Amino acid sequence: MKTVSVVIPAFNESECVHELGVRLIELFNAENEYKWTAIIIENGSTDDTWEKLATLAQKDSRFKLLKLSRNFRMDGGLTAGLEYVNSDACVLMTADLQDPPEMISQFLRKWEEGFENVYGVIKKRSGTNLLRQINSVLFYKIARKLTNRLIPENASDFRLVDRKVYEAVREMNERNRFVRGLFAWVGFKSIGIPMDRPERYAGKSNADTFKVLELAVKGLFAHSYKPLRFISLAGLFISMASLVAIVVLSILAVFIGVPFAGFGTIVALIIGGFGFQTLLLGIVSEYLGLVYEESKGRPNFIVSEKIGF
């Protein structure tokens, strides 16, 4: 009998825990030709998520729990869960039930066909505001351009991966983790399955706009050096433009003269130049920040308590 583990980070998901357990148990019973384990990572919650998870684990030994010392974000929670997986396949999903457990059956069928990385492709997002939807569209468009189409458009973290896939990702110890990008980078035989993402089952989303944008920036910079190349190209373009402008203005000054003092134009150009240089320095600083995080070598998560291991 093949084994499958479901890895689920949970942060302040007290209102979703019970329904999550019910639907996972229904899945386990329906797909009873596999031996199932659910590894739920309590990610530094401030509510009673841990207590409710502990009750669930007492009732069903297939549920195993990790309690992290603080919140390590979604990717930190997924990384923690992957460290404790020892199954033929692993499923990654969220605890708010926006990743429907029932869809895992479709992932299994594709895995049985020989696919090693089966992921959900979001076609419709319910319960998200217009700004969040625009951000998602822009992120995937930019990510596809900067990473040479490495990251599939609208791919989610909700996926089933074969042992060889998650073991390859587990060997990557980088600190700036964008798990979606890591699974795309390792390759293997992959396929996306279209899905409509429902609203949260209950509770409030912890992924505000600024946190999502921060993750998006880290994800892009961790998987592409094209923004650095942009700095060189921008410098070359500005230098050539300046040279052409000097030649043209010199000719005009000799044959036509200077029609006006041009103080406002000069000031505007100086301010614009400084602003553009600041933008380029900002890009460099983002990369320096990533290098700094890597150089410290701190762990991606810290486990403070375990149940079922």
For the chain, the average pLDDT equals 79
Let me know: does 86 contact 50? Beta carbons within 8 Å: no
Neighbour-count burial for 264-283, b at 16+ CB within 10 Å, e otherwise: eeeeeeeeeeeeeeeebeee
Q: Of 275 and 63, which is predicted with more confidence?
A: 63
Statement to judge: residues 252 and 202 lie in one domain: no
Query: Distance (Å, rounded) from C-alpha 167 to C-alpha 162?
Result: 9
What are 65-110's pLDDT values in tens digits?
999 999 888 888 898 999 999 999 999 998 988 889 999 999 999 9
Statement to judge: residues 141 and 271 lie in one domain: no
pLDDT for the residue 127: 60
* pLDDT band at residue 1 under the 50/70/90 scheme: confident
Q: How many domains does the chain divide into?
A: 2
Q: Which of 145, 293, 141 is nearest to 227 (CA)?
A: 145
Mean pLDDT is highest, among 129-133, 163-167, 189-193, 259-263, for 163-167
Residue 105, domain CATH? 3.90.550.10
Residue that the structure tokens 């059956």 belong to: 105
pLDDT for the residue 264: 44
Statement to judge: residues 234 and 109 lie in one domain: no
pLDDT for the residue 268: 53
Statement to judge: residues 77 and 149 lie in one domain: yes
Q: Concatenate the DSSP letters of all residues of 194-249 into one string.
A: EEEEPPPSSS--S--HHHHHHHHHHHHHHS--HHHHHHHHHHHHHHHHHHHHHHHH
> 3-class secondary structure for 149-163?
CCCCCCEEEEEEEEH
Query: Distance (Å, rounded) from C-alpha 161 to C-alpha 112?
Result: 12
**Residue 240, domain extent:** 226-296
What are 25-52's pLDDT values in tens digits?
999 999 999 999 999 999 989 899 999 9
Statement to judge: residues 95 and 63 lie in one domain: yes
Half-sphere exposure of 39 (CA within 13 A, CB side): 24
What are 223-268's pLDDT values in tens digits?
555 666 666 666 666 666 666 666 666 676 666 665 555 644 665 5
Statement to judge: residues 18 and 141 lie in one domain: yes
pLDDT for residue 213 is more than 80: no
Statement to judge: residues 152 and 262 lie in one domain: no
Q: Of 76 and 140, which is predicted with more confidence?
A: 76
Statement to judge: residues 152 and 270 lie in one domain: no
pLDDT for the residue 186: 86
Statement to judge: residues 170 and 62 lie in one domain: yes
Neighbours of 12 (CB within 10 A): 21
What are 101-138's pLDDT values in tens digits?
999 999 999 999 999 999 998 887 766 666 666 666 66
pLDDT for the residue 123: 82
pLDDT for the residue 38: 94
Query: Distance (Å, rounded) from C-alpha 105 to C-alpha 92?
Result: 13
Q: Collapsing DSSP states into helix, strand and coil, what is residue 114?
A: coil
Statement to judge: residues 25 and 145 lie in one domain: yes
Statement to judge: residues 147 and 276 lie in one domain: no
Q: Which two tokens stand for residue 186?
A: 């390792």
Let me know: does 37 contact 5? Beta carbons within 8 Å: yes
Neighbours of 245 (CB within 10 A): 11
Q: Which helix (H) or strand (E) holds 284?
A: helix 263-296
Statement to judge: residues 213 and 230 lie in one domain: no
Show Cβ contacts of residue 17 under 8 Å, excluding neighbours closer than 6 positions: 10, 49, 52, 53, 56, 95
